[in-house]
Amino acid sequence: MSKNKKTFRPKARLPRGFGDVAAHEVRTMAAMIKTIGEVYELYGFEPLETPALEFAECLGKFLPDADRPNEGVFALQDDDEQWMSLRYDLTAPTARYVAENYDGLAKPFRRYQVGPVWRNEKPGPGRFRQFVQFDADTIGTTEMAADAELAMMFSDVMEKLGIERGDYAIRMNNRKILDGVLEKINLLGDDEATSNTRLTVMRAMDKLDRLGSQGVRLLLGEGRKDESGDYTKGANLDAASIDKVIAFVEAGKSTNKDTLAALAELIKGSEIGQQGIDELVEINTLILAAGYLEDRICFDPSIVRGLGYYSGPVMEAELTFEIKDEKGNLVRFGSVGGAGRYDGLVARFKGIEVPATGISIGVSRLYAALEKLGKHPAPKVRAPVIISVMDKSERATYQQMAMDLRQAGIRAEVYMGSSGMKAQLKYADKRGAPLVVIQGEDERANDEITIKDLVVGAKASKDITDNQEWRSSQVAQMTAKTQDLVKTVQDILAKPHHRH
């Protein structure tokens, strides 16, 4: 006699670094995305969508910088053995799109896109492997006016979402100035070892706000062990080189003009560094003329952006207000988006220089920030009116009631379960339904309906046990003719206690 085999039941669980999004958050995030999109549209940008999967060679080696094709990204091989990867940002796919459709595009090409991206990195608090970005890019111009415009648009998005001036800052720098510093410590070579060290240095500098000066020093040197015990290998720079890098990231002053003067002194003698200074001078002239002062857009040498494809002005949108962490300590919320010029990215495909610049907003992180501020653009969505099923043979009649309400613009659903009256009322309560429409045998005989107002009678589902008890309870319910269903529901929903 064979033993019964144990049935395998998978455990209901999420992979680390991923999360579900419930109805309220979906709606609120959609409203936030709509607001951002309206700002982008005002500036003349057009929407674009690209697929989640791209050939790994199209995404390039900017994230990550190691040999394995799936290092830092989620990758798979097609049946023809070609590597494909889930996009790690929206910029690289856009560069591929522009290269593929270059001749037919109006240039400069201006597009925006929103969608999920995936990074195969170590997850942590507030750090997910899948998250949503909202980008805008201008491709096909070297003019600094495009970068200045993106900084101003970044600022406009923050304020349109209700983040007050003083609670955010658009911090800007230029990678060419960083190149001037790297030139002085002999890290501008093209060989693989130098390129890897350079990327390690940039990623270390990018962590100044989170790790502080001492933490960055460790990453510029031998390396750093975090609180969990994980060790991050450092750039192994000598002490003099580390001092030069730290002096650079800490060169920020109270005005953009003074910051530029301090940076010019640090990179004196570097042609590429001076180009970066000149570009920021031009951007500063443009944003000042438009009325954007340092309380909105400021120059900050610690902003370097970790991705290797940035080649000119870079910026981050940082929230400066303080919140309490899990331990009750006051901390700043930090960056909710970044931007930069990437003049070499499209050139990988075309073989010709195609200048480009763009911004990227971290939608999930910005959503969390607005939640902390209590400024979500929450949509006012009323839960549906529930049509109860007293007689299963009359489902067609109930469906017609629901359709009549929907055609009048009222959300409505027919109860799809098989339970009795008490369970149906509990279901309506859990759904947050404002009203329940009932038509049993007696109502149908009189061509009537009974409407239960759940906002007034919030305890209905607790006390009613059967149809007889329902009929004897007249709290928060009324009777109307079936033909008056829509008007009666409209009248009830128009009452003050139903208004949002």
> What is the pairing mode between strands 435-438 and 385-387?
parallel
Phi, then psi, of 491 in degrees rounded to 5? -65, -40
Give the integer Cα–Cα distance in Å for 210 and 334. Answer: 9
pLDDT recorded at residue 56: 86
Question: 121, 129 in Cβ contact below 8 A?
Answer: yes
pTM: 0.81
Beta strand residue intervals within 82-153, DSSP E: 83-86, 109-118, 130-139
Give the integer Cα–Cα distance in Å for 196 and 187. Answer: 10
Give the integer Cα–Cα distance in Å for 126 and 109. Answer: 34
Give the integer Cα–Cα distance in Å for 456 and 471. Answer: 17
Peptide bond into 47 cis (omega under 30): no
Give the integer Cα–Cα distance in Å for 367 and 373. Answer: 10
Phi, then psi, of 62 in degrees rounded to 5? -80, -30
Question: 377, 27 in Cβ contact below 8 A?
Answer: no
- Determine which helix (DSSP H) or strand (DSSP E) holds 413, and give its type and residue range: strand 412-414
For residue 26, count other CB atoms closer than 10 A to its CB: 10
Structure tokens at 324: 């309490």
> What is the pairing mode between strands 297-299 and 168-174?
parallel
- Alpha-carbon distances of 414 from 9, 392, 399, 449, rounded to whole Å: 33, 11, 6, 14
Side-chain-side CA neighbours of 437 within 13 Å: the count stands at 30
Residue in this structure with the two tokens 């329902």, named with its chain if needed: 470
Sign of the CA dihedral running 179, 184, 188, 193: negative
Q: What are the DSSP calls for 205-233, one per residue?
A: HTTHHHHHHHHHHHHHTTEEE-TTS-EEE
Write down all domains in the chain, each with its CATH number in brackets.
Answer: 23-373 (3.30.930.10), 385-498 (3.40.50.800)
Phi, then psi, of 156 in degrees rounded to 5? -60, -40
DSSP 8-state class, residue 440: -
Give the integer Cα–Cα distance in Å for 238 and 204. Answer: 15
Q: From 354, 314, 346, select the one nearest 107 (Cα to Cα).
A: 354
Q: Indicate the SS3 state at residue 449.
A: strand
Amino acid at 418: S
Give the integer Cα–Cα distance in Å for 363 and 346. Answer: 25
N-term to C-term CA, the chain: 66
Question: 220, 204 in Cβ contact below 8 A?
Answer: yes
Amino acid at 448: E
Give the integer Cα–Cα distance in Å for 320 and 323. Answer: 10
Structure tokens at 1: 């006699």
pLDDT recorded at residue 500: 59
Q: Indicate the SS3 state at residue 319.
A: strand
Q: Indicate the SS3 state at residue 236.
A: coil
pLDDT recorded at residue 270: 92
For residue 490, count other CB atoms closer than 10 A to its CB: 13
* pLDDT tens per residue across all 500 residues of the chain: 556 678 888 899 999 889 898 888 899 999 999 999 999 999 999 999 999 999 988 887 655 444 445 568 888 888 888 889 999 899 989 999 999 999 999 999 999 999 999 988 887 776 789 999 999 999 999 999 999 999 999 999 999 999 999 999 999 999 999 989 989 898 888 888 888 888 888 888 878 877 888 888 999 988 888 877 788 888 889 889 998 989 988 899 999 999 999 999 989 999 999 999 999 999 999 999 999 999 999 999 988 876 667 889 999 999 988 777 667 777 677 889 999 998 888 888 888 889 999 999 999 889 888 888 887 766 778 899 999 999 999 999 999 999 999 999 999 999 999 999 999 999 999 999 999 999 999 999 999 999 999 988 665 445 555 555 545 455 578 999 999 999 999 999 999 888 75
For 94-125, b/e burial (b = at least 16 CB within 10 A) is: bbbbbbeebeeeeebbbbbbbbebbbbbebee
Give the Cα-Cα-Cα angle 452, 458, 460 (nearest 5 degrees). Answer: 60
